[in-house]
A and B are shown apart, each in its own frame.
Chain A
Amino acid sequence: MSKHIDAQIQAYFDGELNGKNRKKAEAHLKDCDKCQQGLNELSHLSSILQADLKISQKANSDKFVSQVMLRLPRKVRQTWWQKFGKTAYMLIPALLLLVLIFHRTTNFSNNLLLGADLLGIGEEEISTLLSAPVLTNVEIPFPLPTLDMFDAGGSMWLSLGNINVFGIDLSNSFIYPLIFGLLSISWMIGWWVTQEQKQKLKN
């Protein structure tokens, strides 16, 4: 007969032994009275512990649930990242609006300068503004945006690329407003879906 399996009896009793180990334990228990007695003791103790299990199973389910529901705070506490996400989401329209204002303003001011240049108004100042790089005497490791980056009908957005079809600048008159519009619509759809879900949950 093999050595006693005190260490494994508990795991065997709790159904935590599988495959080979289980078979080994079963084979040993068949031949070993001492280990079989250990197993019986575990079983006996377990039945005594569970004898009064029914006593505690008296809870009235519906009453208990309604009592819990009454004690629940109205809102689920949100984690900081959920709060941050919510705030960031609500700031998107303001950000889009700022970008649009920036785009339209730079576009308009460039057109104004170019128009003035064509008409010969303030020629000297405008040519300085359109050609002179800013801070020429200072060495900087990256290029600063200057007004000469904004060529005819352009804006700072043109640093991303210029799209011309039959001489018409689509990037300004069509593409960027379209992107802005699509982003705004996507945001509105997202907001609407969230509101609908909240409404459903309330009902």
Chain B
Amino acid sequence: MMTATGEEYELITRSKNGDRQAFGDLVSLHQQGVINVVYRMSGDRNHAEDAAQEAFVRAWQKLPSYRPVGSFRGWLYRIATNIAIDMLRREKQTEDVDDHLIKDPSSGVEKKIMQRQKSEIVKKAVLSLPTASRSVLVLREYESLSYQEIAETLEIPIGTVMSRLNYARKTLRSTLVELLEEE
């Protein structure tokens, strides 16, 4: 089980006492991870930062009830995951891949388009996974959380983490078979 480091623990304690500056440092420390989790879960880059900010605001409000027994990062990611799921419920329709490419100002360069197209296919494949297995995959593949941390973050047993991860990877292997064979 990964707990907060000494410096992080001090920042958490000060934040719990209402120290906004300490909380700002915590935001700075975890912003990229939280943005990534929201983005990977929702697939919406435009709203990922906004949702990540919302996650931090919610974390600030929930801080008094935070107990430093598990990883602070995991606790934050749980909030971020829930916000991403809420966001998906609100916006059921996802952005169309082609539309996105037309809007892309960097679409002049062919190589970049190819790269972007590939990442859009990957993004779509990840987004097509059920939320439960997608959460596990995002936390493992993009945030490199251990099985134990994922279990704590999502409040599920380690066995479930493994089976969901296995399911997500198997599904992706068959969805992305063309990409996998290409490279």
> A residues touching B (Cβ–Cβ < 8 Å)?
10-11, 14-16, 41-42, 44-46, 48-53, 55-57, 59, 61, 64-65, 67-69, 71-73, 75-79, 82, 197-198, 201
23 residue pairs of the A-B complex, CB under 8 angstroms, read A16-B146, A41-B180, A44-B183, A49-B141, A49-B142, A51-B118, A51-B119, A51-B122, A56-B36, A56-B40, A56-B45, A57-B36, A61-B28, A64-B52, A64-B53, A65-B27, A65-B28, A68-B56, A71-B57, A72-B20, A76-B15, A78-B64, A201-B18
**From DSSP, what is the main secondary structure of chain A's interface residues?**
helix
Q: How far is the CA of A51 from the CA of B120 in the complex (A)?
A: 11
In the complex, the answer to whether A41 meets B141 with C-beta atoms within 8 Å is no
Q: Which of A45, A69, A79 touches B180 (beta carbons < 8 Å)?
A: A45
B80 at the interface (CB under 8 A from A): no
Query: Which B residue's beta carbon lies closest to that of A44?
Result: B180
B31 at the interface (CB under 8 A from A): yes
In the complex, the answer to whether A76 meets B176 with C-beta atoms within 8 Å is no
In the complex, the answer to whether B119 meets A52 with C-beta atoms within 8 Å is yes
Q: Which of B28, B53, B119, B126 touches A71 (beta carbons < 8 Å)?
A: B53
Closest chain B CB from A73 CB (angstroms): 7
Query: Which B residue's beta carbon lies closest to that of A53?
Result: B142
B96-119 toward A: CB 8 Å interface, digit per residue (1/0)?
Answer: 000000000000000000010011
Taking CB atoms, residues of chain A closer than 8 Å to B87 are none
> B residues touching A (Cβ–Cβ < 8 Å)?
14-20, 23-24, 27-28, 31-32, 35-36, 39-40, 45, 48-49, 52-54, 56-57, 60-65, 115, 118-119, 122-123, 126, 140-142, 146-147, 162, 165-166, 169, 172-173, 176, 179-180, 183
Closest 6 CB pairs of A and B: A52-B119, A68-B56, A56-B39, A77-B61, A76-B18, A71-B57
Known: A14-B140, A51-B122, A73-B60. 19 other contacts (CB 8 A): A14-B147, A45-B172, A45-B173, A46-B141, A48-B176, A48-B179, A52-B115, A52-B119, A52-B122, A56-B36, A56-B45, A57-B32, A64-B35, A65-B24, A68-B53, A71-B54, A71-B57, A76-B63, A198-B18
Q: How far is the CA of A170 from the CA of B28 in the complex (A)?
A: 61
